[in-house]
Amino acid sequence: MKKYFAKLGLNSKVQEVYSVGENNAPDEKAGIEFLNKQTNYPFWVQTFKDRSQRKNYAGKGMTYDEDRDAFISKQSFNSWVLNEDTCQWEAPSARPDDGKMYNWNEETTSWVEVTI
């Protein structure tokens, strides 16, 4: 079974996500030590595809927030607010649930139906 580790750069930005075999990463500490030796790079944090820890699976460009112990994506729109439970950005109003397609309009801070 593979384990996944986020390589953190400046301001804890995720640069890449590496996979490591179970033999080399029986736990987070061992996985980080293995990657340190392999890459000569010191800043790693384990990430989990099932989101069982650290709220979200890491992806390039996301940020690791040490205080929240979570990976957080870039804020989609200025009006969106971070949900502290999920560490995901949410619109100030819920997307309509009527089966139609919508895009967010930041200028009007509302959902606009997509017409094809």
CA distance 102 to 14: 30
Residue 7 shares a structural domain with residue 43: yes
Q: What percent of the chain has pLDDT over 90?
A: 97
Residues 39 and 89 in one domain: no
- Record the pTM: 0.90
Average pLDDT of every residue of the chain: 97
pLDDT tens digit sequence for 43-82: 999 999 999 999 999 999 999 999 999 999 999 999 999 9
Looking at the structure, tell me whether residues 102 and 89 fall in a common domain: yes
Check pLDDT > 90 for residue 116: no
- Does residue 14 sit in the same domain as residue 53? yes
The verdict on 47 and 15 lying in the same domain is yes
48 and 81 share a domain?
A: no
Q: Range of 95's domain?
A: 76-116
Q: Which residues contact 17 (CB under 8 A, 6 or more apart)?
A: 4, 5, 6, 7, 47, 58, 59, 60
User: Cβ of 33: how many Cβ atoms within 10 Å?
Assistant: 14
Count of the separate structural domains present in the chain: 2
Within this chain, do residues 56 and 12 fall inside the same structural domain, yes or no? yes
My answer on whether 69 and 100 are in the same domain is no
